[in-house]
Amino acid sequence: MDPDASLSLARILPRLEARFAEADAVAWATFRTRLHTHFGTLFPLLRHLYGGQYDFFYHLEATLEMAATLWLARSPALQALDAAREADPGWFQAQGMLGAVAYADLFATTLDGVRAKIPYFQELGVTYLHLMPPFLAPAGNNDGGYAVSSYRETNPALGTMADLTALASALRAAGISLALDFVFNHTSDEHAWAQAALAGDPQYQAYYRMFPDRSMPDAYERSLREIFPDQRPGNFTWRPDAQRWVWTTFNSFQWDLNYANPAVFTRMAEELLFLANQGVEVLRLDAVAFIWKQMGTTCENLPEAHLLIQAFNALVRIAAPTLLFKSEAIVHPDEVIRYIRPDECQLSYNPLLMALLWNTLATRDVRLLAASMRDRFPIDPRCAWVNYVRVHDDIGWTFDDAVAGQLGINGYDHRRFLNQFYTGRYPGSFARGVPFQENPRTGDARISGTGASLAGLEAALPAEDEQAVELAIRRIVLIHGIILTMGGIPLLYLGDEIGTLNSYSYRNDPAKAGDSRWIHRRATDWAAMARRSDPATVEGRIYGALQRLIAIRQAHAVFAGHDTTILDSGSAQVFAYTRQGAGPPVLALANFSEVPQTVAANELRLYGLSYRFRDLVSGESLRLVADLPLDSYRFRWLVAD
């Protein structure tokens, strides 16, 4: 600990000791030990962010007192889990890990309904369940729950906070970790703090970024981009009821918090630890790139954003060490990687892999995928990617233009092509997606649509074109096969496992019509779900294939952890990589084209396969006598016999 940190701790600790003199001695001693371990990390971060404030020590002490209070209120079961996780910090690297994500209401109506679906999660092999924000939010448009009016109350239609806590423990008993969002860049304009700010309370106006006239907003706006240009141009909203412009990066009812104010840090840390105490094991840090603002910058990915998360993380190590952070930074690949550190976000979405899987299905050319993954896949081995093909959001084409440029691809043109392709406008496209946030000024757009509709199932089904249906199913299974075997935690968007198609009914709902992401956010069709066990149905074909791949992943220790080496397969259509963890290494080959390919026997030899080997996918035993065929959209996971 640096001398300043020790001095500060020496100054604060006696007061904390006195304040918690009546606390359970063992629990208090644990807190003290952790405080000693992590204060040396926490202090310089907070000093960097807030040291210039005249009342810095007051805030520091208040933060620690709050953390101690929440630790002492933490249930014995969670305190025991904390100790277990501290002893096994790499628990989430296991090959058994499988994530799933859903809206509680769309999936099973209520939180209790979700609880009743635990047998389904177990059937699928899920060990990590991310529920979209179940919190109190404004009626009507609330950005799918991402406008939070209270972090301590649930949306009453879903149930109560007690139901949420009960769900978390029931899931844990079934071996499933609950993940929720920490929507901490903004609150809704109905949050008590926003309401107090609207009523004119200057203390709460300082929780947000509010301006009496356009001078500051205009000055900031010069270097900001627009995230939701359809909804409202710019990043500020005029509130006549407060006679103020409010910073609103997303929708006008989502007010950005002002983290330059230390009170906001302390209050939000309290909300964070409150959620941890409900049994949440993973917090998805929503819109993480936007939390710090500074004039003259893009106000994205600023160094202070990282320090803030590290400070939250250090507090979590002290007061709720079970908790992991998952970064949601859907930005340039270099910036995505900067959030991934054991002392910042242990988990991160892998938006680059996601976007490039779709890219590769469109182009039938794996080179951009392979080149990008070779550069950008490696991360700290104590952290993990969360690999996915679809989630509740749109697909943004966030690949690196420099890497594309080396392959002769112009990034701007290529994004236009991808948008054309995935909206089905490109001749011969199999995809049925729709644009999201098309910006005529910049030519930018993102894509909405379910995995199955984007992969060709929606176009193929009505035509009863069995060959097209088969190809669509193979595409769906192919990209899931990749996320199930590349290093990290695979994440399924529930509904995709049975090939759920787009739903167009959102267009009739005024609260949703302006946001095309609702096309892929639909109520689970439990009748279709019931067909999952019938291999004669489309649902059964997809479900059966995915379930088998999941079982293979979970049975082979080589799929634990991260170690993934991207190879050059010698073919522009075949994506190749090896996994080497515990157990014999696996060579994965995936044909991204409908045209059958072969991989030369010599290449296979080069990648360590000897005379006899086995394909984990088909179960075949093979001999290295000739080139290896890979049928259209087929993949093999090869292991030496």
Please list the active-site residues: 286, 328
Nearer to ligand GLC, 305 or 628 (CB): 305
Q: Is 137 in the site for ligand GLC (CB under 6 A)?
A: no
Give the residue with the Cβ less far from ligand GLC, 355 or 404.
355
Interstrand relation of 574-579 and 564-567 (parallel, antiparallel or unpaired) = antiparallel
Q: Please, what is the minimum distance in Å from the beta carbon of residue 258 to ligand GLC?
A: 17
**Residue choice 163, 190, 281, 394 for contact with ligand GLC (CB under 6 A):** 394
Site for ligand GLC in 168-207 (CB under 6 A): 183
Between 512 and 562, CB nearer to ligand GLC? 512
In degrees rounded to 5, what are phi and psi of residue 83? -65, -40
- Is 386 an interacting residue with respect to ligand GLC (CB under 6 A)? no
CB of 510 to ligand GLC, least distance (A): 18
For ligand GLC, the closer of residues 132 and 560 by Cβ is 132
Q: Closest residue (Cβ) to ligand GLC?
A: 146
- Would you state the structure tokens that stand for residue 315, as one six-digit string? 């507090």
CA distances from 580 to 144, 319, 357, 486, 561 (A): 40, 36, 22, 11, 9
Question: Which residues, numbered 252-291, are part of the site for ligand GLC (CB under 6 A)?
Answer: 286-287
| Residue 144 found at the interface with ligand GLC (CB under 6 A) | yes
Shortest Å, Cβ 149 to ligand GLC: 14
393 binds ligand GLC (CB under 6 A): yes
Nearer to ligand GLC, 286 or 343 (CB): 286
Choose the binding region for ligand GLC from 50-58, 119-127, 140-148, 547-555 (rule: CB under 6 A): 140-148
Place of tokens 């007690």: 162
The smaller minimum CB distance to ligand GLC, of residues 23 and 227, is found at 227
Q: Which residues pair with residue 493 across a beta bridge? A: 101
Backbone phi and psi for residue 174, each to the nearest 5 degrees, phi listed first = -95, 10
How many chain residues are in contact with ligand GLC, going by CB under 6 A? Answer: 15
Find the part of the chain contacting ligand GLC (CB under 6 A) among 121-129, 150-158, 323-331, 504-512: 323-331
- Does residue number 146 form part of the binding site for ligand GLC (CB under 6 A)? yes
Separation of alpha carbons 192 and 153, rounded Å: 12
Contact 111, 163 (CB under 8 A): yes
Applying CB under 6 A, the span of 316-324, 338-346, 387-395, 491-499 interacting with ligand GLC comes to: 387-395
Contacts from 413-418 at CB under 8 Å and sequence distance 24+?
415/444, 416/443, 417/362, 418/358, 418/359, 418/362, 418/447
Region from 215-223, 240-248, 324-332, 568-576 binding ligand GLC, contact rule CB under 6 A = 324-332
3-state per-residue secondary structure call for 432-449? CCEEEEEECCCCEEEEEC
Using the contact rule CB under 6 A, the part of the chain among 328-336, 358-366, 382-390, 603-611 near ligand GLC is: 328-336
- Considering the complex, what minimum distance in angstroms separates the CB of residue 335 from ligand GLC? 10
| Options 31, 250, 506, 613; binder of ligand GLC; rule CB under 6 A | 250
Q: Does 45 bind ligand GLC (CB under 6 A)?
A: no
The DSSP result for 286-350, as a single string, is TTGGGS---TTS-SSS-HHHHHHHHHHHHHHHHH-TT-EEEE---S-HHHHHHTBSTTSBSEEE-
**For residues 182 and 291, what is the distance between their CA atoms, to the nearest angstrom?**
12
Q: Is 396 in the site for ligand GLC (CB under 6 A)?
A: yes
Site for ligand GLC in 496-515 (CB under 6 A): none
- Characterize 45-67 residue by residue with b for buried, 16 or more Cβ atoms within 10 angstroms of its Cβ, and e for exposed: bbbebbeeeeebeebbbbbbbbb
Supply the minimum distance, in Å, between the C-beta of residue 458 and ligand GLC: 22
Q: Quote the least distance from Cβ 36 to ligand GLC, whole Å.
A: 36
* Chain-centroid distance, C-alpha 81: 23
Give the Cα separation of 6 and 28 in Å (integer).
19
Six-digit token pair at 178? 């609950």
Rounded to whole angstroms, the Cα distance separating 318 from 40 reads 12
143 contacts ligand GLC (rule: CB under 6 A): yes
Residue pair 485/559 in contact (Cβ under 8 Å)? The answer is: yes
347 binds ligand GLC (CB under 6 A): no
CB of 290 to ligand GLC, least distance (A): 7
Q: Quote the CA–CA distance of 147 and 110 in Å, as a whole number.
A: 19
Closer residue to ligand GLC (CB): 188 or 372? 188
| Selected binder of ligand GLC within 273, 330, 478, 549 (CB under 6 A) | 330
Contacts (CB under 6 A) with ligand GLC, residues 410-429? none
Q: Are 593 and 572 in contact (CB under 8 A)?
A: no
Stretch that binds ligand GLC, among 111-119, 141-149, 465-473, 537-545 (CB under 6 A): 141-149
Q: Does 451 bind ligand GLC (CB under 6 A)?
A: no
Region binding ligand GLC by CB under 6 A among candidate stretches 192-200, 392-400, 610-618, 623-631: 392-400
Query: Which pair of tokens denotes residue 330?
Result: 């859907």
Nearer to ligand GLC, 161 or 331 (CB): 331
C-beta of 140 vs 629, nearer to ligand GLC: 140
Instruction: Draw the binding track, 111-130, toward ligand GLC (x: CB under 6 A; -: no contact).
Output: --------------------
Which amino acid does the sequence have at 449? G
Answer yes or no: are the C-beta atoms of 132 and 179 closer than 8 Å. Answer: no
Strand, coil or helix: what is 487?
coil
Q: Segment 210-239, which members bind ligand GLC (CB under 6 A)?
A: 227
Least Å distance, CB 445 to ligand GLC, is 11
Q: How far is CA 597 from CA 217, 477, 575, 588, 640, in A?
A: 56, 18, 11, 14, 21
At closest approach, how far in Å is the CB of 516 from ligand GLC? Answer: 10
Q: Is residue 333 near ligand GLC by the rule CB under 6 A?
A: no
Q: Strand ranges (DSSP E) for 478-555?
A: 489-493
Q: Indicate the residue among 251 and 571 with the shorter CB distance to ligand GLC.
A: 251
- At its nearest, how many Å lie between ligand GLC and the CB of residue 550? 25
Q: How far apart are CA 337 and CA 306, in angstroms?
A: 11
Question: How many Cα atoms are found within 13 Å in the side-chain-facing hemisphere of 6?
Answer: 3
Positions that interact with ligand GLC (CB under 6 A): 143-144, 146, 183, 227, 250, 286-287, 328, 330-331, 392-394, 396
